[in-house]
A and B are shown apart, each in its own frame.
Chain A
Amino acid sequence: MFNQLLTGSILAEYTDLQEVPWDRMWNATQQTLYMTAISVLLVFIFGLILGLILYETRHHQTIWSVALYKTVSVFVNIFRSIPFIILIVLLIPFTKAIVQSMTGPTAALPALILSAAPFYARLVETGLREVDKGVIEAAEAMGASKLELILKVYIPESLPSIIAGITVTAISLVGYTAMAGVIGAGGLGNLAYLEGFQRNRASVTLVATAVILIIVFVIQFIGDRWVSYIDKR
């Protein structure tokens, strides 16, 4: 009897959709999408460049490539290791300096990019390593320059890994935006924290969770489809 009552009241708490501020929910969804989209785009660009640098310099042929590899590698390893929630706090002065604000979706971007780009760079590097050495040799035998190799061999031949990597990264970025929300970046995480936690409205948290899940599923679906479309192996 007691159990039933409890179950009923829990269920009621979660399903009390009257409490959900739909306009704010929509607004928060847009903020999450904005943070995710911009950060995915920039992480893709920076991660690809960093990944290419790591790949290109990994053989330590000259003193410069050794220096570059070590620098990038240390940078990547450090930023990949710092827990995101700490990183965002750590970066507050830096964020203030470049975005002139420490709250709002844009303020979350530096931390999102700094934590995800190194992670993605490693994924890109792994993908590039899988490119068939013979194909690279063939392109060199045709007289391809380094830039042509990158644009016509490395990237197209590792594109499934590059796309699969950005899909995984985008999904963790959605998670990061929610964490960033807790310290004032806006978005669904912020809403769940303010409404769901501080005002104890479980239904708001539930709806926010559902929206985030939908975003994640859509990203995963697009990523998978895209990979299977381009992978002709």
Chain B
Amino acid sequence: MITLEKVTKTFLNNKQPFEAVKETSLTIEKGEIYGIVGYSGAGKSTLLRLLNGLERPSSGKVVIDQSELTPLSKKGLRKERQSIGMIFQHFNLLWSRTVLENVCFPLEIANVSKSERIERARELIELVGLSDKAEAYPAQLSGGEKQRVGIARALANKPKVLLCDEATSALDPQTTDEVLDLLAKINEELDVTIVLITHEMEVVRKICDRVAVMNKGAIVEEGSVLHVFREPKEDITKRFIKQDRETDNKETRQALTELKNAYPEGRILQLFFQGTHVGSPIITKVSRECDCDINIIQGSIQSTHNTPMGTLIVQIIGDQEKQDKALELFRTYPVEVEVIEKDV
């Protein structure tokens, strides 16, 4: 779907050449959600803009859906861009237009007739769940709503590709999740290939199929999200993954402290599941075999795009012997078990 062949981009910075993107080759498959993660200044923004010709490569080839961007004239490139949607960190909506008019904007550029424009825009506004805000101005919307408008606008011309430039970086965690869910839904329902750049590994974990880690203008590691998360090779990748875990842990740890106080009886276990085991009835099996009660305190599924990772916090009630037996039994299943000590 998208191929970069030995692409470089050099800027002149006070007459000093600066290589924002070093020789990079990359293939993104149709229908994929592809994440590019890196710190600011890593060149990911430039890389993304090479994909819709907002930046022209200094050398190399950019091919989108069999059409090569590099030799296109300005006019040809403009035409091509109509089939590539883009959303932004700061949404970049026109304040002077209502939600409906903002979504109509790319359709005006594509010379779609007025009645068709409005019909299509209304459809999209419904898709992103803003039907009641169609006549509102961006200033009256929250960040999450603005990004939904941005998404609707980007989808107006039925693009093959959607580029996301730090689309959730200006949003709070909950809104981020909502927007990511929406992107995943769009990817699935409309079969749009999504390329997103971010500095948050969490975003990659939640919706991407594959990820590339960028550092100093080069892609240093690439692969499926599960693979990269399980076996990160580069230090920078490990750092990104660690960051993601830490934000997660902080919340969990706080919750655990509260749990320990709330459930003084028995023993508290934290179980981690991965992939297909999430569905299997381990809890009831253990409960039945060891003849003890298991109280489910909290459960959450932290999903990567296609494989769920579950966390379950349970309380085993019963005498010491049964508790130990239950613990042993849990350990025979393909789950990771952690005993949460009470005297902390």
- Residue ranges of A at the interface with B (Cβ–Cβ < 8 Å): 132, 134-135, 137-145, 148, 152-153, 156-157, 159, 230, 232-233
Instruction: Determine how close the nearest CB of chain A comes to the CB of B171; give it in whole angstroms.
Output: 16
Which residue in A132, A142, A145, A230 is a CB contact (below 8 Å) of B105?
A: A142
Interface CB pairs A-B, < 8 A, 15: A132-B92, A134-B91, A135-B94, A137-B92, A138-B93, A140-B81, A141-B52, A142-B106, A142-B109, A143-B80, A143-B82, A143-B110, A145-B78, A156-B96, A157-B96
Instruction: Determine how close the nearest CB of chain A comes to the CB of B51; give it in whole angstroms.
Output: 10
Count, A-B residue pairs, CB within 8 A: 67
A-facing mask of B68-92, CB < 8 A → 1, else 0? 0000000101111110101010111
| Count, chain B residues at interface, CB 8 A | 30
- Residue ranges of B at the interface with A (Cβ–Cβ < 8 Å): 52, 54, 75, 77-82, 84, 86, 88, 90-97, 105-106, 108-110, 137-139, 157, 163
- In the complex, what residue of chain B is closest to A233 when comparing beta carbons? B95
A144 to B95, CA, bound (A): 17
Instruction: Determine how close the nearest CB of chain A comes to the CB of B110; give it in whole angstroms.
Output: 7
Which residue in B88, B92, B109 is a CB contact (below 8 Å) of A148?
A: B109
Which residue in B90, B97, B137 is a CB contact (below 8 Å) of A156?
A: B97
Q: Is the interface of A mostly helix, strand, loop or mixed?
A: helix
Instruction: Determine how close the nearest CB of chain B comes to the CB of A220; give it in whole angstroms.
Output: 23
Ordered nearest first, which 6 A-B pairs have the shortest CB separation? A143-B81, A138-B92, A143-B78, A134-B92, A232-B137, A142-B106
A87 to B80, CA, bound (A): 52
Q: Identify the interface centre among A135, A143, A152, A156: most chain B CB within 10 Å of its CB.
A: A143
* Chain A residues positioned under 8 Å from B93 (CB to CB): 135, 138
- In the complex, what residue of chain B is closest to A232 when comparing beta carbons? B137
- In the complex, what residue of chain A is closest to B157 when comparing beta carbons? A142
* Chain A residues positioned under 8 Å from B84 (CB to CB): 141
On whether A142 and B95 interact (CB within 8 A), knowing A152-B105, A232-B137, the answer reads no
A232 to B101, CA, bound (A): 13
* Chain B residues positioned under 8 Å from A157 (CB to CB): 94-96
Are B86 and A141 within 8 A (Cβ)? yes
* Chain B residues positioned under 8 Å from A144 (CB to CB): 78, 109
A145 to B80, CA, bound (A): 13
A152 to B88, CA, bound (A): 19
